[in-house]
Amino acid sequence: CGPLEGKLKKLAADLGIDDRVKFPGHVSQSELLQYYADCEFFVLPSTFRSEAFGIVQLEAFQAGKAVISADLPSGVPYVNQDGKTGIVVPPGDVRALNEAVKALHGDPERRLRLGKAGRERAISDFSAEEMVKRTFALYSPRA
């Protein structure tokens, strides 16, 4: 899970939620797909610009899940469009993140609508075929 695993496990225990929080470590592709299928929505709470794109957002979109992400100065908010495919919150704003989680948790219709739009976006804008087409267009000589 990374260098914070011990601290996060202790925090979960201290909060009394360790029976509901999993730290699975490395998972197979089929296990990963099952995690996406089982969740209500996906949260990418990154606060650093080094999170350049957030491929995991596209994985969540492919599973039809709405995404909550941060408005980083990177490609993350380009992928997850606020109000269209999910909710984008200010980075590091715990209150805004909490409100976004509560909003999606309490509104199944909104989750489904955003998740459907995310899936459509993943297919139309980020499919292998679309990415190849855009790359060729970028490098093709212009008339």
* The pair of three-digit structure tokens given for residue 84, joined into one six-digit string: 């269209």
Provide Rg for the chain, Cα atoms.
17
Helices (DSSP H) in 1-127: which residue ranges?
Answer: 5-15, 29-38, 55-62, 76-79, 94-105, 108-126
| pLDDT of 1 | 64
- The pLDDT > 70 percentage for the chain reads 99
The residues with which 68 forms a beta bridge, in sequence order, are 43, 87
Q: Which residues contact 62 (CB under 8 A, 6 or more apart)?
A: 36, 119, 122
| pLDDT of 143 | 62
Give the chain's residues under pLDDT 70. Answer: 1, 143
The structure's pTM equals: 0.86
| pLDDT of 50 | 84
| pLDDT of 48 | 86
| pLDDT of 76 | 94
